[in-house]
Amino acid sequence: MSDAPTCVFCNPNPGDIIEETGHSLALCTADAIKPGHIIIAAREHVTAFEDLNGEQAADLYALAARTAARARAVFGAQKYYTVSIADMVPHFHLHLLPRMPGDAPIG
């Protein structure tokens, strides 16, 4: 992990980690936007998607797809949206956000 001692993804709460790989973490945090909101973060402290190498990007998106499929069944979501902004926490991560039955379509 990184030298960034204050980064929430470099130093995650161990209780928030739901799965981890060599390059990525899946986290379910107390400040989730809604039930089923999951974060997939790169282990290495990189600030943008384009800073990931191919192996890191493949691992991160594979973990995101696996986690969303499992979470979809657990939470009863119709599907999962993915979004990444990383302005508030400058460590590349994806938000997996469930679209629940009855939610308005986006886009």
At 52 the pLDDT is 96
At 92 the pLDDT is 96
pLDDT single digits (tens) 70-89: 999 999 999 999 999 878 88
Q: For 68, which DSSP code?
A: H
pLDDT single digits (tens) 23-46: 999 999 988 999 999 999 999 999
Cα separation, 91 vs 45, in Å, equals: 6
Report yes or no on whether pTM surpasses 0.85. Answer: yes
At 85 the pLDDT is 86
